[in-house]
Amino acid sequence: MEGGDYKSLLVLVTSYSSRYHGEIYEVKIQKGSGQIMGGVRGAIGDEYGKDQAPLRPVTTFFNKNTYSIPDSCLCDATDLFGGSKLYLLFREGMQANPPHSVMTPDSLKGYVFDIQNKSFSTFQGPRVPKPLGNVISAYEKLYHLAIPVTSPHEPNDPESVFERYDPLNDSWEFLPPVPSVISDKRVEIVGYAVYNHHILLSLTCGPGYEFLAFHVRTQKWVHVKVEKSHRMACSHFPFRGRAVVLGDRMYASSYSFGVVLEFSFDCEAYSLTPKLVFPRFKRMHLANMDIGVQTEYLVHLGGWDFCFVQTAYDYKRIDRQPLWITTFRIIVGSGGSSNIEILHSTIRDVYIHGGWHVHVNFSFTPEHQREEEETRRQGKDAKGLKGKVWRITSSSQKKKIK
């Protein structure tokens, strides 16, 4: 999907009506400048979408009778193999009464979408699906963590189940479950990072948060402590989504909507150090919008460039929903401090069907997934960049730009 002068940002959105369905949209971003093609810089009419045509989906799936996916299902998605394949797993939403009651054979399967061929295939689902299950991609394998549920419908569900899927063999294996330190709390996994053979989990635990690390080689779980030196950054924890790893720095969206965090993870001391809270990203909605549920995803564009995709229900509209798209660059100063340069921000509409609003589930750029995964593997590649601004052009070559 890449062009000579632009890169593709793929956005997975999901909607819930009488049947679950999802769509993938493509946003084209000009290489180097970060200009969002087809967007208008800061110029929004009286009605969003007035000055430009809505985005058309690259593909729509599960919208026909081919599959039976209940509307109460939630979708978890991630990519493997350099962003060429999108893997999807479904789980029963907690609003079902009782949980699992409407799960169908189709919703218990895993699905693979080939980005280039636009084709679907299935794979074996996890052995033990649970309502609060999450899918994680690390080192070309999938990890599925089904955490305990505190529910009157499932009083005998005290154990977590951790499984790893090998796509080459189409097989799952059990891994050591999450330590019992969180088993007595209402827990939800909201984010993760992959760094130096570790999977760092970001969790909400009741009103608070926790961080846990799993070493993929030794298969040991370790509780991660948070350094409290940056009180403001700590107040925005936990982080959400898949964190972007650049050397010893990590970037992710905050649990607070519209905030991006910078932090570091010491996998020897097992400590997390918040570094910086980037200014709250302004949403370009108008005062007359009736804002509802908000979702967002932070995407790495390569080098120190990022894209932040946000959306929210507008209960006054039943035909369209806005995607706020912002590209920005992180500048690392000579003293190691960071700031951001906004490259472009705009709004693009997507059609909604019969008033059923959409969520942003996942977003990525296939071109740069190999680079980012290689950076995660090495863990230390980008150290020494302090005081300079670099654009990483491949996993083995760095080009100084300023």
Give CA–CA dist 346/49, Å, rounded.
11
Distance in Å from the first CA to the final CA of the chain: 29
Residue count of the chain, please give it: 402
Sheet (strand 85-92) strand order: 73-80, 85-92, 110-114, 119-123
* Residue from 112, 146, 141 nearest 126 by CA: 146
Tell the residue number behind the tokens 């409290």, with chain if given.
228
pLDDT band at 96 (very low <50, low <70, confident <90, very high): very low
Tens digit of pLDDT for each residue in 160-185? 789 999 999 999 999 998 876 555 55
- Is pLDDT of 259 > 50? yes
| Domains with residue ranges and CATH for the chain | 6-400 (2.120.10.80)
d(CA 151, CA 157): 9
Which range is least confidently modeled, 295-299, 347-351, 371-375?
371-375
Structure tokens at 154: 């499932």
312 touches 283 (CB < 8 A): yes
State how far the Cα of 322 lies from the Cα of 285, in Å rounded to an integer. Answer: 8
pLDDT at 167: 92
pLDDT at 193: 96
* DSSP-assigned letters across all residues of 300-354: EEETTEEEEEEEEEETT-SSEEEEEEEEEEEEE-TTS-EEEEEEEEEEEEEE-BT
Maximum mean pLDDT: which of 51-55, 65-69, 168-172, 385-389: 168-172
How is residue 370 written in tokens? 């190999």
Q: What is the mean pLDDT of the chain?
A: 76
pLDDT at 156 over 90: no
**pLDDT attached to residue 265:** 95
Can you give the pLDDT at residue 391?
28
More confident residue, 129 or 78: 78
CA gap 324, 295 in Å, rounded: 11
Least confident of 29-38, 116-125, 147-156: 147-156
In which band, very low, low, confident or very high, does the pLDDT at 390 lie, cut at 50, 70 and 90?
Answer: very low
pLDDT tier, 225 (very low <50, low <70, confident <90, very high otherwise): very high
Q: How do strand 187-195 and strand 239-246 relate by DSSP bridges?
A: parallel
Amino acid 393: pLDDT: 27
Segment of 32-41, 120-129, 178-187, 237-246 carrying the highest mean pLDDT: 237-246
Q: What CA–CA distance (Å, rounded) separates 106 from 306?
A: 35
pLDDT band for position 3 (cuts 50, 70, 90): low
Predicted confidence at residue 152, as pLDDT, reads 43
Question: How crowded is the C-beta side of 90, counted as CA atoms within 13 Å?
Answer: 27
How high is the pLDDT of residue 348?
87
